[in-house]
Amino acid sequence: MKTHVLFNLFATFLLADGLNIEDSAGQFFSSGHTNNWAVLVCTSRFWFNYRHVANTLSVYRSVKRLGIPDSHIVLMLADDMACNHRNPKPATVFSHKNMELNVYGDDVEVDYRGYEVTVENFLRVLTGRLPPSTPRSKRLLSDDRSNILIYLTGHGGNGFLKFQDSEEISNVELADAFEQMWQKRRYNELLFIIDTCQGASMYERFYSPNLMALASSQVGEDSLSHQPDLAIGVHLMDRYTFYLLEFLEDIHPASKANMNDLFKVCPKSQCVSTPGHRTDLFLRDPGSVLITDFFGSVRKVEITTEAIDLTDPIKEVEERPANGDVHKEMHSYVDQLPVSEIIHQNGKLCATSTNKMSLCCFHGDVSECEMQLPRGLGVEGPP
């Protein structure tokens, strides 16, 4: 009888413990992602669009602070504000007036800059269809367990976003790009934030699963900028990203703030425009999604007590020359300006030229010279 009771107690204890394990295991795998990526794009050029670069750099700064490394961030800035000749304080980009916060910092790596920020490059980065010689830092190497944060800022309108004042990307193209990413299993969950005028129009056409989108203004509304700095002479930040930065400054890697808090950032009283969001394509409840699921890179660590055998270190085989005393020729530095060698480089061609300068001082032989003379050159041209 006693053993029976003991056995029952033991079994219930095991069961309770097991439930606990299942609970924590469930929590462990609740978000479903194992790595974080961020694609931050500023699409505006020219000095008076300083605030767009400051917007992107603030999000970059928050994302780096919360743990995503540079190798997992693709930062695209269409123009250089920090070292612009009109910047009174070079190598700085400020977000608050009176130069309180330098969001450019000392440790920044911009992957696409200047003329490289085009619609084509942006879509290639998202879909992964880049030329084979593209370096790793310019690629979005995400997999199906990656959570990606995409942040776009610039000038936009109803259904489009302007890139560098010369081309635009439409909401249909963007939705199709995300669908391509979904088909190729390039993301687990994707958070899309856009800070432009009429930004909500950009996420209207999304149709792929696991997408959550936030915008700074509705269709028909303009997103406004926050405050100018009289020393620098331009507006420093846009309102929505300014309050987003203030919100993110309070987040630390262990914070439990969730997406519902993010939706409340910048109400109409502060932002003048009405920020919007879209969660119908997202499978999880936004209240259970942590901010750090997208903005941070919280690694989950599983402690194991197994021992792993490391193999013996590979001994480098030292190549010795066959005979110990090989006669090696003496190397020397090359003459930097060998005048006589240069003059005689083309041998007879230059030497036989008349007092008029001959164009036949090409490399190689005379036949090449005759072929290469383009029409009209080498004869008396128009005065």
Partner 1 sequence: MAAHRCCFPVWLFILCSFSLFIIAGSQETTVAPEQHASVLDNPQTAAETAEQTAGESGGVEERRWEGTEVRDAAAQKQAEPAVLQPTPQPKDDFQEELVVRPLHSGDIYASFQFRTLWETDFMRGNKVSHYRLFPKSLGQVISKFSVRELHISFTQGYWRTMQWGQPYLPSPPGAELWVWFQDSVTDVDATWKELTNVLSGIFCASLNFIDSTNTVQPSASFKPLGIGNVTDHRFLRYATLPREIVCTENLTPWKKLLPCGSKAGLAVLLKSEKLFHSSFHSQAVHIRPVCQDWQCKTTSWELRQTLNVVFDLHNSGQGKREWSLFKMFSRTLTEACPLASSSKIYIDITDNPEGEQFELSPATSLLSQAMVLGDRRTFSVYDLTQQDTFGSVRSLNLLIRWKSTEGDMLRPLLHAERYVAGYGLQTGEIHTLMYNHHPYRSFPVLLLDSVPWYLRLYIHTLTVTSKGKDNKPSYIHYQPSKDRVRPHLLEMLVQLPPNSVTEVTVQFERALLKWTEYTPDPNHGFYVGSSVISSLVPSTVAMDTNSTRERPLFSSFFPCKEESSYFVRVYTEPLLVNLPTPDFSMPYNVICLTCTVVAVGYGSLYNLLTRSFQIEEPSPGLAKRIANVIRKMRGVPPL
The candidate with the shortest Cα–Cα distance to 302, out of 108, 44, 27, is 27
Q: Is 380 in the site for partner 1 (CB under 8 A)?
A: yes
Q: Say how many C-beta atoms besides its own lie within 10 A of residue 297's C-beta.
A: 22
From residue 42, alpha-carbon distances to 56, 118, 152, 154, 245 in Å are 6, 10, 6, 6, 16
Residue 164 falls in which region: left (phi positive, over 0), alpha (psi -120 to 50) or beta:
left
CB of 72 to partner 1, least distance (A): 15
Q: Of the ranges 7-15, 132-140, 181-189, 245-253, which one interacts with partner 1 (CB under 8 A)? A: 132-140
Provide the residue type at 312 as one letter: D
Please, what sign has the CA dihedral across residues 64, 69, 72, 74? positive
Q: Which of residues 112 and 243 has its CB atom nearest to partner 1 in the complex?
A: 112
Pairwise CA distance, residues 153 & 256, whole Å: 27
- Determine whether 197 is an active site residue: yes
Give min distance, CB of 96 to partner 1, in A. Answer: 17
Task: Report how far Cα 172 is from the mean position of its chain's Cα atoms.
Answer: 22
Q: Does 135 bind partner 1 (CB under 8 A)?
A: yes
Cβ closest to partner 1, residue 256 vs residue 315: 315
Is the CB of residue 293 less than 8 Å from the CB of residue 189?
yes
Q: Which of 33, 42, 72, 197 is catalytic?
A: 197
Closest CA to 137 of 211, 215, 229, 75: 75
CA 90 to CA 71: how far, in whole Å? 26
Residue 46 is a binding residue for partner 1 (CB under 8 A): yes
Near partner 1 by CB under 8 A: residue from 11, 19, 25, 91: 91
Q: Shortest Cβ distance from residue 69 to partner 1 (Å)?
A: 13
157 lies in the site for partner 1, by CB under 8 A: no
> Is 226 one of the annotated active-site residues of the chain?
no
C-beta closer to partner 1: residue 22 or 120: 120
Q: What is the CA radius of gyration of the chain?
A: 31
Contact flags string 98-117 toward partner 1, x per CB under 8 A:
------xxxxxxxxxxxxx-
* Interaction residues for partner 1, span 299-338 (CB under 8 A): 310, 312-313, 315-319, 328-338
Between the CA of residue 226 and those of 33, 52, 61, 234, 340, what are the distances in Å? 35, 11, 19, 11, 67
User: Which residue of 35, 65, 67, 80 would you call a contact of partner 1, by CB under 8 A?
Assistant: 80
* 348 binds partner 1 per the rule CB under 8 A: no
Residue 266 beta carbon to partner 1: minimum distance, rounded to whole angstroms:
29
Stretch that binds partner 1, among 160-168, 169-177, 239-247, 287-295 (CB under 8 A): 160-168
x/- track of binding to partner 1 for residues 252-291 (CB under 8 A) = ----------------------------------------
Residues in the chain: 383
**Whole-angstrom distance, CA of residue 297 vs CA of residue 37:** 8
Which residues contact partner 1 (rule: CB under 8 A)?
A: 45-46, 80, 82-83, 89-92, 104-116, 131, 133-138, 164-166, 310, 312-313, 315-319, 328-339, 342-343, 345-346, 350, 355, 357, 359, 361-363, 372, 374, 377-381
Catalytic residues, by residue number, are 155, 197
